[in-house]
Amino acid sequence: MERLQVALLGHGEAGRALAAGLGPRVRLRVYDPAYPPGGAAGGLAVGLVGSNAEAVCGAEVVIAVTAGADSLAACAESVPHLRPGALYADLSTAAPRDKREIAALVEAAGAVAVGGAIMAPVPLRGLATPILASGAGAQRFAAFGRAHGMDVTPIGGDPGDAAARKLLRSVLVKGLSALAIEARAAAEAAGLAEWFWEHLVETVTSADERFVRRLLEGAGQHAVRRVHEMDAATRMLEELRVPPTMTAATAATLRRVAETGLPPLPRGDRSPEPETISPGSTPGP
């Protein structure tokens, strides 16, 4: 059976990992304006070509892993070259509204759109990296993925639905990263780096649903007191000459909670029974 013709737009970190996995399985053409055509790039032998048109023309599947800021431009450049019925899967970190606009451009050209979201670092898992797919072509892209070693979960719905899940995860995970960085810097400045590191690891590893509920419900019950606490923390970081960006933002969020209340929490608790919780767990504040 003849292998599918696939275009990959973007040859950054994610693009190189996907190219390495897909290259032996499909007829692959890769385009990235930052890389010259032909031969190897980044140590990987892939079918680099010199233009979007050369990559996209004749492709049955187009996978875009550009930067989110470049996703609309890459799609607009691709549209004149898409074959009817081709699958265009945008896996960039673009916002849901951009994903919907991309889908409209693709569908107007007679092709089928997929709004995708890569849910873990691609270099760690390569083709096996979990991907969510939404929009009209989600099921078809999932079938393509299964046939070629990819882990694609179709969720249906709007082309922006997968991106919304990705970006909500980013608000949480990247926000936690930023908080940990800011607190770590303050701990270093205060001479408490070793203690803080152990406390951070213990706090993160003790988390379960009950912990998360305590974290949020406690914020609702004690918002006013915690605003004062975070104002004090902000002043401490300023004295330590550590920019209190996240700490001040926490105080602002808690002020809103004091005024408007918490967002609704789901009913029930799916945490393990108490005897299954690891020893040494600490309750949430």
Q: Distance of CA 283 to CAs 122, 194, 206, 216, 267, Å?
A: 34, 21, 8, 12, 20
Helix spans in 109-244 (H): 122-125, 138-147, 161-189, 193-205, 209-221, 223-239
Q: Are 108 and 84 in contact (CB under 8 A)?
A: no
Residues in contact with 15: Cβ distance below 8 Å, sequence separation at least 6, in sequence order: 8, 9, 30, 32, 65
CB burial readout 162-187, b (16+ within 10 A) else e:
bbbbbbeeeeeeeeeeebbebbebbb
197-239 pLDDT per residue, tens: 999 999 999 888 988 888 889 888 899 999 999 999 999 999 9
129-177 pLDDT per residue, tens: 999 999 999 999 999 999 999 999 999 899 999 999 999 989 888 899 9
- Residue 190, judged by CB atoms within 10 A of its CB (0-12, 13-18, 19+), counts as middle
Confidence of residue 2 (pLDDT cuts 50, 70, 90): confident
**What is the torsion angle, in degrees rounded to the nearest 10, for the CA atoms of residue 209, residue 123, residue 26 and residue 140?**
20
DSSP code for 48: B
Host H or E run for residue 243: none
Residue type, 34: A
24-62 pLDDT per residue, tens: 999 999 999 998 775 454 444 468 999 999 999 999 999
Residues 98-114, mean pLDDT to the nearest whole number: 97
Residue 64, SS3 per DSSP: strand
Calpha distance 224→194 (Å, rounded)? 31
